[in-house]
Structure 1
Amino acid sequence: MQPTNSSANPTPALRPTPRPGIMEIAPYVPGRTKSTGGGKLHKLSSNETPLGASPAAIEAYRGEAGHLELYPDGGSVRLREAIADVHGLNADRIICGNGSDEILELVARAYIGPGDEAVFSEYGFIVYRIAILAAGGTPVVAPEKDLTTDVDAILACVTDKTKVVFLANPNNPTGTYLPFDEVRRLQAGLPPQVLLVLDAAYAEYVRRNDYEAGMELAATSENVLMTRTFSKIYGLAALRIGWAYGPAHLIDTLNRIRGPFNVSSASQAAGAAAVRDRAFIDAAISHNETWLPWVTKELEALGLKVTPSVGNFLLLHFPEDTGKTASDADRYLSDRGCVLRAVGAYGLPNALRMSIGSEEANRDVVAVLKEFLAA
């Protein structure tokens, strides 16, 4: 008897499979860290501060090196108390996370499930979509006007299925923002059972009289949570520290599902020192106030459209002419050591996002783009 040849109809391998929908999620792709050319690298793809971290934060971080055998404080008490002291908040209504991304994911896990919807704006932070889909929910995208969040469009998307509205203010990657009167109008227009998450990752950079990060609204409302990060102006991106402020019932809910030791001891110590280092924060603000308008003006003088930004980054729009597109510019810049962020995943295929860097980096990008556009 001849052996049966089963290769024509192989049996699918039995193995664990993720639940429906997980494999349809496009993974988050961070900004590139390397250029394609030699020479000095200017990494301007992740909105990191060019000033590094506070010396006080670095010293506090090193001070934890002799206690690595000990678990961190599970409640991040020292860090929460430092944040509360600086901002005049109730420490019991603060939760800390492994970056603000973790807190956004906790929100989705706690309040969104199969059959539920969550709303965010057309060019909103891409992590919102990932968190919603991972929780089994349905993302609902509200169109924007002039690359700016449209409150009426968001409210028009709200249905009986809506559980959460995510609002990045200022928004990444556009750099635009909503005046706080508009944020209040959004909150007032939402059903009270819908959670409004105000993602204020870039709040410290904003120099506008009509802007607020959302602390007061989170303090006085039952359905508002404000999230913040230490990854931007504080220069602690490597330590992954985020926090949120909101009503006691929201904080209690999120604490029930977060990891028991989700913020390391070194991160807690460095964060507590960084938030109190006012001189360092003022220096970072001053640097951005100098170079954000300078880069904007110089790039506009080259003929590029630049979306007005209140953050520490700019969105640059390129012509559609062959050889002058954003993809062409990205390659040209990378070959010369300047790494920006392509934002095609956000639905902006002909734009690049540029972090405000050091004086040298800013000047080099402008010079390289001048060469590129003249070639």
Structure 2
Amino acid sequence: MKCDFISLACSGIQDLVPYQPGKPVEELERELGLTDVIKLASNENPLGPSPRVLSAIQQGLSDITRYPDGGGYRLKRALSDKYAVAVDSLTLGNGSNDVIDLIGRAYLGSGDEVIYSEFSFVAYSIVTQASGATAVVTPAKAWGYDLDAMLTAITECTRIIFIANPNNPTGTWVTEQQLTAFLDQVPEQVLVVLDEAYTEYVEHPEFPNGLLLLERYPNLIVTRTFSKAYGLAGLRVGYAVSNVQIANILSRVRQPFNVNSLALLAAEVALSDDEYLAQGMALNKQGMALYQQALTAMGLSYIPSVGNFITVDFAMDAQPIYQAMLEAGVIVRPIASYGMPQHLRISIGLQEENERCLNTLNRVMNL
């Protein structure tokens, strides 16, 4: 082969490192011949899907020969009714990652700058590099966002600022007062993308609801997902809420059938399943308390988290610990790619999964 097809790609994509998801259970089973594997690596809902969702999917199977509603009218209507937002302010995506990618495709190009924090979700760097824009990475403060540093980093070339609240992979968060003080100082022509993938897990009076800030800040875009608290990670449904002009622009680059028919149906039903959501919140709260207590007893530090995961600091290279846990059939998440080689992120699972993970970790640490 004489042609170098990599060199034919856009300059920003040539050096792009693909996103590395948490290791699938089936992959570990194939690699090590294991049959009893638990996965606590991808912040998935451990409850399994809601019975109401499963019933709706079963009823919808007969229609899969038809294209889905390209506009997602029923899901948009349900979101509009639940959150009191305009239907035409909504953009649906194949997960919130898809919406983030749409924002980058619509608003970024060569010469533009994107601000995001150290130790923040890797999708922001991927979108930035793929679009040919320049990343401006501000230093973290106590593993979270330093909003003052982000303000200082704004230039005439800044087009987008990404803020995850709560942040993945650290679980840190900013208060409503901190966020609004920040937004008050961001120029209107700079878009602020507030990634609220884990917002349903947070129970704190000072935690902001980005949707309530949209009218006050027309340059704000709020993204959310059904992959976490609503338990639909495998179906890939997310959405953005923004002012109508931004939503109109995003619709121009959105693929016409980017959310499949079963996903649209499942998300609509999940949105009204308050019992399932409450059950998941209670399970997460119980599991988080267990991890905090056990990690403290083991003498391990962790980053306080309001998400459905906890990030542990081993004060040493965490890769051997990760590998030893894999060999014991427990999948957690190494985050060296986030600049945190001494940490592992652990998703909150079912009680028996949490106990097994902690027992395995204790055994590995004492080898």
Question: Please, what TM-score do these two structures have when normalized by structure 2?
Answer: 0.96
Which residue pairs with 1:84 in the alignment? 80
Measured at CA, do residues 115 and 337 of structure 1 come closer, stay the same or move farther in structure 2, by a change above 3 Å?
same
1: CA distance between counterparts of 2:209 and 2:43?
19
> 1:319, CA displacement in angstroms?
2.9
The question of 1:360 aligning with 2:356 is answered no
Which residue pairs with 1:198 in the alignment? 194
2: CA distance between counterparts of 1:263 and 1:311?
26
> Which residue identity does 2:350 align to in structure 1?
S
> 1:220, CA displacement in angstroms?
2.9
Which residue pairs with 1:129 in the alignment? 125
The question of 1:292 aligning with 2:288 is answered yes
2: CA distance between counterparts of 1:277 and 1:271?
10
- Deviation by residue 1:305-360 (Cα, 9 ceiling, x = unmatched): 1100000000011132xxxx411211111111110000000000011000001111
- Deviation by residue 1:212-265 (Cα, 9 ceiling, x = unmatched): 230011233210000000000111001100011111111111011100111111
Which residue pairs with 1:341 in the alignment? 333
Measured at CA, do residues 55 and 139 of structure 1 come closer, stay the same or move farther in structure 2, by a change above 3 Å?
same
Which residue pairs with 1:351 in the alignment? 343
On the 8 A contact 1:43/1:340 being kept in 2, the answer is yes
Which residue pairs with 1:120 in the alignment? 116
The question of 1:237 aligning with 2:233 is answered yes
Question: What pairs with 1:120-199 in structure 2 (closer than 5 Å)?
Answer: 120-199=116-195
> 1:156, CA displacement in angstroms?
1.1
1: CA distance between counterparts of 2:353 and 2:35?
13
The alignment partner of 1:175 has SS state of coil
Q: 1:253 aligns with which of 249, 256, 271?
A: 249
On the 8 A contact 2:336/2:343 being kept in 1, the answer is yes
The question of 1:111 aligning with 2:107 is answered yes
1: CA distance between counterparts of 2:331 and 2:23?
7
Which residue pairs with 1:5 in the alignment? none
On the 8 A contact 1:342/1:349 being kept in 2, the answer is yes
Measured at CA, do residues 283 and 15 of structure 1 come closer, stay the same or move farther in structure 2, by a change above 3 Å?
closer
RMSD: 1.4
> Which residue identity does 1:28 align to in structure 2?
Y
Q: 1:49 aligns with which of 45, 58, 66?
A: 45
List alignment gaps of at least 5 residues for structure 1: 1-10
> 1:161, CA displacement in angstroms?
0.4
> 1:39, CA displacement in angstroms?
4.2
1: CA distance between counterparts of 2:289 and 2:161?
31
List alignment gaps of at least 5 residues for structure 2: none
> Which residue identity does 2:254 align to in structure 1?
R
2: CA distance between counterparts of 1:310 and 1:203?
9
The alignment partner of 1:239 has SS state of coil
What number of residue pairs does the alignment pair up?
A: 361
On the 8 A contact 1:48/1:231 being kept in 2, the answer is yes
> Which residue identity does 1:354 align to in structure 2?
I
1: CA distance between counterparts of 2:259 and 2:202?
27
Identity across matched positions, percent: 37
2: CA distance between counterparts of 1:15 and 1:93?
40
2: CA distance between counterparts of 1:13 and 1:193?
42
Which residue pairs with 1:317 in the alignment? 313
Q: 1:214 aligns with which of 210, 214, 220?
A: 210
> 1:83, CA displacement in angstroms?
1.4
Which residue pairs with 1:3 in the alignment? none
1: CA distance between counterparts of 2:129 and 2:323?
32
Q: 1:326 aligns with which of 318, 325, 333?
A: 318
On the 8 A contact 1:39/1:336 being kept in 2, the answer is no
Question: Please, what TM-score do these two structures have when normalized by structure 1?
Answer: 0.94
Measured at CA, do residues 119 and 15 of structure 1 come closer, stay the same or move farther in structure 2, by a change above 3 Å?
closer
The question of 1:24 aligning with 2:15 is answered yes
Which residue pairs with 2:365 in the alignment? 373
On the 8 A contact 2:183/2:217 being kept in 1, the answer is no
